[in-house]
Amino acid sequence: MDEGARDRGDVVPCPNCGTKNRLRPRSDGVPRCAVCKTLLPWIVQANESTFEAEVDASVPVVVDFWAAWCGPCRMVEPVLQRLARDQVGRLKIVEVDVDQNPQLAARYQAMSIPLLVVMRGGEEIDRVVGALPPAELARRLQPVLEPGAQPAGSAA
């Protein structure tokens, strides 16, 4: 996908009917197909101007700090895509290219990539550095996907 298309919103095909849907930032609800209303996997690209709007979501957000030249980042990408499909309606993936967004990378101290920053309600609740095996990554993220999960350090 070209960079201009990313700025206009990410396009996600519906897994049910194939309709291409443009995803825009939203803080309430989850994306659904415009035609058949099927829940869509929520995977978007963010840059320094769209980041705050993208991480403000009604579901937990996993921010993937990556770079095109990073081999482990390429290994994590299909795992995150599968996780987004498996957890449709319960998880949002936000991808941030550290080479294109150095201020965001610095703000989140992305000194080693891939870096996954898990957020709920705009607050960081966990981070995973490096490429974990798919089963380990799913296990690590499972507590975040539980209904009513609380950010680290907050009272239940």
- Residues serving a catalytic function are 70, 73
CA-atom Rg of the chain in angstroms: 15
Q: Which of 90, 131, 107 is nearest to 47 (CA)?
A: 107
How far apart CA 143 and CA 126 sit, in angstroms, is 10
**Residues with Cβ within 8 Å of residue 117, at least 6 apart in sequence:** 62, 63, 65, 108, 124, 126, 127
Angle at 8 between CA 44 and CA 86, to 5 degrees: 20
How far apart CA 13 and CA 20 sit, in angstroms, is 4
Is the Cβ–Cβ distance between 66 and 113 less than 8 Å?
yes
How far apart CA 154 and CA 156 sit, in angstroms, is 6
